[in-house]
Amino acid sequence: MGGPELERLIALLAKLPGLGPRSARRAVLHLMKRREALLEPLAAALAEAGKRIRTCSVCGNLDSTDPCTLCRDERRDPAVLCVVEEVADLWAMERAGVFRGRYHVLGGSLSALDGVGPEDLAIPRLVARAREGQVREVILATNATVEGQTTAHYIAERLADAGVAVTRLAHGVPIGGELEYLDDGTLAAALRSRRAL
Protein backbone atom coordinates (compact mmCIF):
# COMPACT_ATOMS: atom_id res chain seq x y z
CA MET A 1 0.00 0.00 0.00
CA GLY A 2 2.62 2.54 1.03
CA GLY A 3 5.82 1.04 -0.34
CA PRO A 4 8.14 -1.52 1.30
CA GLU A 5 9.71 0.98 3.73
CA LEU A 6 6.39 1.96 5.21
CA GLU A 7 5.15 -1.64 5.29
CA ARG A 8 8.31 -2.66 7.14
CA LEU A 9 7.88 0.15 9.66
CA ILE A 10 4.24 -0.77 10.22
CA ALA A 11 5.12 -4.46 10.64
CA LEU A 12 7.79 -3.59 13.23
CA LEU A 13 5.59 -1.20 15.19
CA ALA A 14 2.77 -3.77 15.19
CA LYS A 15 5.02 -6.03 17.28
CA LEU A 16 5.03 -3.56 20.18
CA PRO A 17 2.84 -4.43 23.16
CA GLY A 18 -0.52 -2.74 22.92
CA LEU A 19 -0.16 -2.03 19.20
CA GLY A 20 -1.76 -4.12 16.45
CA PRO A 21 -1.43 -3.63 12.68
CA ARG A 22 -4.26 -1.10 12.73
CA SER A 23 -2.82 1.20 15.38
CA ALA A 24 0.68 0.73 13.93
CA ARG A 25 -0.64 2.03 10.62
CA ARG A 26 -2.20 5.03 12.34
CA ALA A 27 1.04 5.71 14.23
CA VAL A 28 3.08 5.61 11.04
CA LEU A 29 0.72 8.00 9.25
CA HIS A 30 0.92 10.32 12.23
CA LEU A 31 4.73 10.16 12.17
CA MET A 32 4.80 10.97 8.46
CA LYS A 33 2.60 14.00 9.03
CA ARG A 34 4.90 15.27 11.75
CA ARG A 35 8.34 14.53 10.36
CA GLU A 36 10.35 17.26 12.06
CA ALA A 37 8.48 17.37 15.33
CA LEU A 38 8.17 13.62 15.84
CA LEU A 39 9.60 11.24 13.24
CA GLU A 40 13.15 12.58 13.21
CA PRO A 41 13.55 13.04 17.00
CA LEU A 42 12.04 9.59 17.52
CA ALA A 43 14.42 7.97 15.05
CA ALA A 44 17.36 9.71 16.73
CA ALA A 45 16.17 8.71 20.22
CA LEU A 46 15.75 5.07 19.15
CA ALA A 47 19.23 4.98 17.61
CA GLU A 48 20.73 6.59 20.71
CA ALA A 49 18.94 4.20 23.08
CA GLY A 50 19.92 1.20 20.96
CA LYS A 51 23.55 2.26 21.11
CA ARG A 52 23.85 3.40 24.72
CA ILE A 53 21.33 1.61 26.95
CA ARG A 54 22.69 -1.48 28.69
CA THR A 55 21.40 -3.94 31.25
CA CYS A 56 23.04 -3.27 34.63
CA SER A 57 25.29 -6.22 35.48
CA VAL A 58 24.50 -5.81 39.18
CA CYS A 59 20.73 -5.33 39.38
CA GLY A 60 19.36 -5.83 35.86
CA ASN A 61 18.03 -2.28 35.46
CA LEU A 62 18.38 -0.46 32.13
CA ASP A 63 20.67 2.54 32.00
CA SER A 64 23.41 4.15 29.93
CA THR A 65 25.96 3.26 32.62
CA ASP A 66 26.90 -0.10 34.11
CA PRO A 67 26.51 -0.32 37.11
CA CYS A 68 23.36 1.76 36.77
CA THR A 69 22.61 5.09 38.44
CA LEU A 70 20.63 3.38 41.23
CA CYS A 71 23.43 0.90 42.01
CA ARG A 72 26.00 3.72 42.11
CA ASP A 73 23.86 5.94 44.38
CA GLU A 74 25.70 6.00 47.72
CA ARG A 75 22.61 7.31 49.50
CA ARG A 76 20.72 4.08 48.78
CA ASP A 77 20.92 1.39 51.43
CA PRO A 78 22.93 -1.59 50.12
CA ALA A 79 21.63 -3.74 53.00
CA VAL A 80 18.10 -3.97 51.61
CA LEU A 81 17.41 -5.63 48.27
CA CYS A 82 14.03 -5.38 46.56
CA VAL A 83 13.48 -8.26 44.14
CA VAL A 84 11.17 -7.57 41.19
CA GLU A 85 10.24 -9.53 38.07
CA GLU A 86 10.77 -6.87 35.42
CA VAL A 87 12.40 -3.48 34.93
CA ALA A 88 8.86 -2.04 34.64
CA ASP A 89 8.26 -3.11 38.26
CA LEU A 90 11.47 -1.42 39.39
CA TRP A 91 10.33 1.75 37.65
CA ALA A 92 6.92 1.47 39.35
CA MET A 93 8.65 1.24 42.75
CA GLU A 94 10.79 4.26 41.89
CA ARG A 95 7.75 6.24 40.76
CA ALA A 96 6.13 5.52 44.12
CA GLY A 97 9.29 6.94 45.71
CA VAL A 98 9.06 4.88 48.90
CA PHE A 99 12.03 2.54 48.62
CA ARG A 100 15.56 3.65 49.36
CA GLY A 101 17.44 0.37 49.04
CA ARG A 102 18.84 -1.46 46.04
CA TYR A 103 17.09 -3.64 43.44
CA HIS A 104 17.39 -7.02 41.81
CA VAL A 105 15.50 -7.64 38.55
CA LEU A 106 14.79 -11.32 37.90
CA GLY A 107 13.82 -10.98 34.25
CA GLY A 108 10.54 -12.85 34.66
CA SER A 109 8.99 -15.45 36.92
CA LEU A 110 9.27 -19.21 37.30
CA SER A 111 6.84 -21.07 35.05
CA ALA A 112 6.84 -24.81 34.57
CA LEU A 113 4.30 -24.32 31.79
CA ASP A 114 6.56 -22.03 29.77
CA GLY A 115 9.69 -23.94 30.75
CA VAL A 116 11.18 -21.06 32.75
CA GLY A 117 13.49 -22.40 35.46
CA PRO A 118 15.68 -20.67 38.07
CA GLU A 119 18.69 -20.67 35.75
CA ASP A 120 16.70 -18.73 33.14
CA LEU A 121 16.17 -15.93 35.64
CA ALA A 122 18.66 -13.87 37.67
CA ILE A 123 18.06 -16.14 40.69
CA PRO A 124 21.59 -17.62 40.98
CA ARG A 125 22.97 -14.07 40.89
CA LEU A 126 20.47 -13.01 43.55
CA VAL A 127 21.50 -15.86 45.85
CA ALA A 128 25.15 -14.91 45.40
CA ARG A 129 24.37 -11.26 46.05
CA ALA A 130 22.39 -12.05 49.21
CA ARG A 131 25.31 -14.07 50.54
CA GLU A 132 27.90 -11.34 49.97
CA GLY A 133 27.47 -10.20 53.57
CA GLN A 134 26.38 -6.64 52.96
CA VAL A 135 22.70 -7.57 52.53
CA ARG A 136 20.48 -7.85 55.62
CA GLU A 137 17.01 -8.00 54.07
CA VAL A 138 15.61 -9.30 50.79
CA ILE A 139 12.14 -7.98 49.95
CA LEU A 140 10.34 -10.23 47.49
CA ALA A 141 8.22 -7.87 45.39
CA THR A 142 7.22 -10.33 42.70
CA ASN A 143 3.70 -10.06 41.26
CA ALA A 144 0.74 -11.46 43.19
CA THR A 145 0.15 -13.97 40.39
CA VAL A 146 0.58 -17.75 40.74
CA GLU A 147 3.97 -17.53 38.99
CA GLY A 148 5.03 -14.57 41.11
CA GLN A 149 4.09 -16.38 44.33
CA THR A 150 5.84 -19.56 43.22
CA THR A 151 8.95 -17.56 42.42
CA ALA A 152 8.87 -15.81 45.81
CA HIS A 153 8.57 -19.11 47.68
CA TYR A 154 11.34 -20.69 45.66
CA ILE A 155 13.68 -17.77 46.37
CA ALA A 156 12.75 -17.80 50.08
CA GLU A 157 13.77 -21.47 50.22
CA ARG A 158 17.04 -20.80 48.45
CA LEU A 159 17.79 -17.98 50.91
CA ALA A 160 16.74 -19.90 54.02
CA ASP A 161 20.32 -20.37 55.21
CA ALA A 162 21.78 -17.17 53.76
CA GLY A 163 21.50 -15.26 57.03
CA VAL A 164 19.20 -12.56 55.63
CA ALA A 165 15.64 -11.60 56.51
CA VAL A 166 13.28 -12.48 53.68
CA THR A 167 10.09 -10.42 53.46
CA ARG A 168 7.21 -10.19 51.03
CA LEU A 169 4.95 -7.31 49.99
CA ALA A 170 1.71 -7.73 51.91
CA HIS A 171 -1.59 -5.86 51.94
CA GLY A 172 -2.73 -3.87 49.00
CA VAL A 173 -1.43 -6.05 46.20
CA PRO A 174 -4.56 -7.64 44.73
CA ILE A 175 -4.44 -11.33 43.88
CA GLY A 176 -3.41 -11.61 40.28
CA GLY A 177 -2.18 -8.02 40.45
CA GLU A 178 0.88 -6.80 38.62
CA LEU A 179 3.11 -4.23 40.28
CA GLU A 180 3.40 -2.14 37.17
CA TYR A 181 -0.30 -1.28 37.26
CA LEU A 182 -0.63 -0.44 40.95
CA ASP A 183 -1.07 3.15 42.00
CA ASP A 184 1.71 4.70 44.07
CA GLY A 185 -0.28 4.69 47.32
CA THR A 186 -1.12 0.99 47.09
CA LEU A 187 2.47 0.15 46.31
CA ALA A 188 3.70 2.27 49.22
CA ALA A 189 1.28 0.54 51.62
CA ALA A 190 2.32 -2.87 50.34
CA LEU A 191 5.97 -2.08 50.94
CA ARG A 192 5.38 -0.69 54.43
CA SER A 193 3.34 -3.69 55.52
CA ARG A 194 5.69 -6.32 54.15
CA ARG A 195 5.97 -9.41 56.30
CA ALA A 196 8.47 -12.16 56.98
CA LEU A 197 8.23 -15.06 54.58
Q: Pick from 13, 24, 56, 190: which binds Zn ion (CB under 5 A)?
A: 56
Piece in contact with Zn ion (CB under 5 A), picked from 15-23, 54-62, 90-98, 188-196:
54-62
The nearer residue to Zn ion, 122 or 173, going by C-beta atoms, is 122
105 interacts with Zn ion by CB under 5 A = no
**Distance in angstroms (rounded) separating the CA atoms of residues 98 and 36:** 39
| Binding to Zn ion, residues 63-82 (CB under 5 A) | 67-68, 71
Query: Reduced to 3 states, what is the DSSP secondary structure of residue 49?
Result: helix
The nearer residue to Zn ion, 60 or 172, going by C-beta atoms, is 60
Q: Min. distance of Cβ 91 from Zn ion in angstroms?
A: 13
59 interacts with Zn ion by CB under 5 A = yes
Whether the ω angle into residue 4 lies within 30 degrees of 0, i.e. cis, is no
Q: Residue 165 phi/psi, 5° resolution?
A: -75, 135
Q: Min. distance of Cβ 67 from Zn ion in angstroms?
A: 5
Piece in contact with Zn ion (CB under 5 A), picked from 44-52, 58-66, 131-139, 157-165:
58-66
58 interacts with Zn ion by CB under 5 A = yes
Query: Reduced to 3 states, what is the DSSP secondary structure of residue 140?
Result: strand
**Distance in angstroms (rounded) separating the CA atoms of residues 162 and 86:** 24
The nearer residue to Zn ion, 60 or 148, going by C-beta atoms, is 60
164 interacts with Zn ion by CB under 5 A = no
Cβ atoms within 10 A of the Cβ of 91, count? 15
Q: Min. distance of Cβ 177 from Zn ion in angstroms?
A: 25
The nearer residue to Zn ion, 59 or 169, going by C-beta atoms, is 59
Output 4-8 pairs: Cβ under 8 A, ≥24 positions apart: 6/32
* Burial zone of 191 (CB within 10 Å; 0-12 exposed, 13-18 middle, 19+ buried): buried
Query: Reduced to 3 states, what is the DSSP secondary structure of residue 122?
Result: coil
The nearer residue to Zn ion, 31 or 105, going by C-beta atoms, is 105
Q: Min. distance of Cβ 59 from Zn ion in angstroms?
A: 3
| DSSP assignment letter at 180 | G
- Which chain residues interact with Zn ion by CB under 5 A? 56, 58-59, 61, 67-68, 71
